[in-house]
């Protein structure tokens, strides 16, 4: 294949295997200069692997890359940078013990003269960049204190600061709400008008359709199609991704809301600087939603209930009895589970394999006297692998080698394995492809049918609307509204989330 004129990058016959398993086979397509190219495919299809090859993190087994028509080796990330390629990686690459501006300029520091950093300048530029992204983060803050959405914006700022010609973004919107996505899109359109080329990965097909000029679909490491975005609809793309005509309905039927007894009752919760007397309740077998903008306090609320933050006042009752939850182990004792939104930071253990990750909390169930019953552990893991179609070459694989979406599925399995009665799921389908989402939604409904109460925090409007039978909307640390039945719609949720009428 020869590169077309007008292509900034031409991917030619790229093949890549890991331990004998082919992950990309003979991929060839071109990226036009100045376009936004969408790259989509199911979890494990090979998107991140291809992106890592383009940005020098991985080397292909065969095939080549042509930049501006010239065959170019990209042996490492530094070379990619010098060639004008910047990447927003799927898994954050930030250093927690450094500040926001230090992270943004890490490896790209501005100096007044050799050896002397121009911190003032770096602070100013970082602040300006974050302001453009409408992210109210202080540049002197430590990255460890940021929410995942804020970390995402720091990662985006870091890439933008390189003023690259080719910007590669691997799922930059998974942690953002629709408003923040809009801001990011405005910025991407600006960059495009300045001639920057962008490769954009997302599982949200509406986003891909909205922002991209063309869309490339990968399936099982094969190139399926490259289409003009205007010529395909979301269903067409989904079909190409899955490779089947029949396309399961995404959301299961909502359960008729039965007024089960209250299993969790939070009354007058006070957490300094966050909540000043917040109350809500969760009923048996209910799928309860928590909607709101990023920063509205939903994650902090979950963390407070789970004993991850000191609580100054109010009561928490489980099954009618007041309980004192001072640490996560207390919450576990009352059969509360919490899937954190921060899979990477607070969830999976990168160096552990699948069974070790699944049974991390429920391990005592697998003990035979003092030994771990490995067979029981492996069998149980295989059940989750089947239920969620977790894609891994073997269950002995360390989690770090699984694709992002597959890591999320393993993390979810861990919580299911604790046998919770109350399960708080913070952005449970983050990074999960459209098809696999369906399985997770079905599963949440099955849990509810078995009497397990699920509290789902989600920034995807569609998800809370399709999944939950009752929805609390938070705004600035307060419950702004509680919606049921037909009132669970985008308009009413956004009204409570923002306080502005007609805001969707």
Ligand X SMILES: Nc1ncnc2c1ncn2[C@@H]1O[C@H](COP(=O)(O)OP(=O)(O)OP(=O)(O)O)[C@@H](O)[C@H]1O
- The least distance separating Mg ion from the CB of residue 459, rounded to whole angstroms, comes to 19
Structure-derived torsion over alpha carbons of residues 357, 393, 341, 452, reported in degrees to the nearest 10: -70
Rank residues 138 and 219 by Cβ distance to Mg ion and give the closer one.
219
Site for ligand X in 10-49 (CB under 6 A): 18, 23, 41, 43-49
Judged by CB under 5 A, the stretch of 45-53, 383-391, 467-475, 490-498 that binds Mg ion is 45-53
Distance in angstroms (rounded) separating the CA atoms of residues 349 and 287: 28
Rank residues 50 and 448 by Cβ distance to ligand X and give the closer one.
50
Residue 357 class from Cβ within 10 Å (0-12 exposed, 13-18 middle, 19+ buried)? buried
Question: Cα-flanking dihedrals φ and ψ of residue 381, to 5°?
Answer: -60, -40
- Mask 43-82, x = binds ligand X (CB under 6 A)? xxxxxxx---------------------------------
Regarding 429 and contact with ligand X (CB under 6 A), the answer is no
| Residue 18's binding partner out of ligand X, Mg ion, none, with CB under 5 to 8 Å set by partner kind | ligand X
Distance in angstroms (rounded) separating the CA atoms of residues 336 and 420: 6
Distance in angstroms (rounded) separating the CA atoms of residues 183 and 488: 25
Kindly tell me which residue out of 185, 247, 352, 401 binds ligand X, with binding defined by CB under 6 A. Answer: 401
| Residue 76's binding partner out of ligand X, Mg ion, none, with CB under 5 to 8 Å set by partner kind | none
Rank residues 174 and 296 by Cβ distance to ligand X and give the closer one.
174
- The least distance separating Mg ion from the CB of residue 39, rounded to whole angstroms, comes to 10
- The least distance separating ligand X from the CB of residue 148, rounded to whole angstroms, comes to 16
Regarding 406 and contact with ligand X (CB under 6 A), the answer is yes
Judged by CB under 5 A, the stretch of 58-66, 217-225, 283-291, 401-409 that binds Mg ion is 401-409
Paired sense of beta strands 321-323 and 313-318, if any: antiparallel
**Structural tokens at position 135:** 């992210």
Give helix 119-132 / helix 148-160 axis angle, nearest 10°. Answer: 110
Rank residues 48 and 356 by Cβ distance to Mg ion and give the closer one.
48
- The least distance separating ligand X from the CB of residue 90, rounded to whole angstroms, comes to 6
* DSSP designation for 252: P
87 sits in which H/E element: strand 85-88
Rank residues 89 and 477 by Cβ distance to Mg ion and give the closer one.
89
DSSP, collapsed to helix, strand or coil, labels residue 382 as helix
Which stretches does DSSP call E strand in 248-342? 262-271, 275-283, 287-292, 313-318, 321-323, 336-339
Regarding 177 and contact with ligand X (CB under 6 A), the answer is no
Q: Longest C-alpha distance within the chain, in Å?
A: 71
Kindly tell me which residue out of 90, 99, 353, 469 binds Mg ion, with binding defined by CB under 5 A. Answer: 90
Number of H-type helices and E-type strands within the chain: 16, 24
**Structural tokens at position 424:** 């708080």
Site for ligand X in 379-398 (CB under 6 A): 391-392
Regarding 404 and contact with Mg ion (CB under 5 A), the answer is yes
DSSP, collapsed to helix, strand or coil, labels residue 75 as coil
Kindly tell me which residue out of 30, 41, 48, 89 binds Mg ion, with binding defined by CB under 5 A. Answer: 48
Site for ligand X in 326-345 (CB under 6 A): none
- The least distance separating ligand X from the CB of residue 72, rounded to whole angstroms, comes to 22
Q: Is 477 left (phi over 0), alpha (psi -120 to 50) or beta?
A: left
Rank residues 101 and 200 by Cβ distance to ligand X and give the closer one.
200
Give residues in contact with Mg ion (CB under 5 A): 47-48, 90, 403-404
Give residues in contact with ligand X (CB under 6 A): 18, 23, 41, 43-49, 90, 391-392, 401-406, 431, 433
């Amino acid at each position: 294949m020869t590169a077309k004129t007008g292509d900034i990058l031409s991917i030619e016959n790229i093949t890549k295997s890991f331990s004998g398993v082919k992950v990309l086979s003979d991929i060839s397509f071109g990226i036009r200069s100045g376009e936004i190219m969408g790259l989509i495919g199911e979890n494990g299809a090979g998107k991140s692997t291809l992106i890592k090859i383009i940005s020098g993190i991985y080397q292909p087994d065969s095939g080549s890359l042509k930049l501006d028509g010239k065959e170019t080796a990209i042996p490492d990330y530094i070379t990619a940078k010098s060639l004008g390629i910047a990447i927003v990686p799927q898994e954050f690459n930030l250093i927690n013990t450094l500040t926001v501006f230090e992270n943004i300029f890490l490896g790209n520091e501005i100096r007044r003269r050799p050896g002397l950093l121009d911190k003032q300048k770096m602070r100013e530029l970082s602040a300006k960049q974050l302001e453009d992204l409408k992210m109210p983060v202080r540049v002197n803050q430590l990255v460890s204190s940021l929410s995942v959405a804020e970390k995402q914006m720091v990662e985006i700022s870091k890439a933008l600061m390189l003023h690259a010609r080719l910007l590669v973004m691997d799922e930059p919107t998974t942690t953002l709400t629709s408003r923040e996505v809009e801001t990011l899109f405005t910025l991407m359109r600006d960059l495009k008008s300045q001639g920057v080329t962008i490769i954009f990965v997302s599982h949200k097909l509406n986003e891909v359709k909205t922002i991209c000029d063309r869309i490339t679909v990968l399936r099982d490491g094969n190139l399926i199609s490259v289409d003009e975005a205007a010529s395909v609809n979301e269903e067409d793309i989904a079909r190409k991704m899955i490779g089947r005509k029949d396309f399961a309905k995404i959301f299961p039927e909502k359960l008729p809301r039965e007024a089960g007894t209250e299993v969790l009752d939070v009354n007058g919760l006070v957490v300094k600087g966050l909540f000043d007397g917040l109350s809500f309740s969760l009923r048996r077998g209910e799928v309860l939603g928590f909607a709101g903008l990023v920063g509205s306090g939903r994650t902090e609320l979950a963390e407070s209930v789970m004993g991850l933050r000191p609580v100054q006042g109010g009561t928490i009752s489980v099954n009618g009895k007041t309980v004192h939850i001072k640490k996560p182990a207390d919450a576990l004792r009352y059969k509360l589970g919490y899937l954190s939104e921060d899979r990477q930071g607070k969830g999976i253990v990168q160096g552990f394999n699948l069974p070790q990750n699944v049974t991390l909390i429920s391990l005592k169930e697998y003990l035979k006297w003092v030994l771990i019953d490995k067979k029981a552990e492996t069998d149980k893991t295989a059940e989750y692998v089947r239920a969620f179609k977790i894609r891994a070459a073997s269950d002995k694989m360390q989690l770090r080698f699984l694709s992002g979406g597959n890591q999320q599925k393993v993390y979810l399995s861990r919580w299911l394995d604790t046998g919770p009665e109350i399960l708080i799921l913070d952005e449970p389908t983050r990074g999960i492809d459209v098809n696999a989402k369906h399985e997770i939604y079905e599963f949440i409904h099955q849990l509810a049918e078995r009497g397990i109460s699920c509290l789902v925090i989600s920034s995807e409007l569609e998800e809370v609307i399709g999944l939950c039978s009752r929805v609390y909307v938070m705004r600035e640390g307060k419950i702004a509204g509680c919606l049921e039945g037909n009132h669970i719609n985008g308009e009413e949720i956004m009204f409570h989330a923002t306080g502005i009428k007609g805001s969707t």
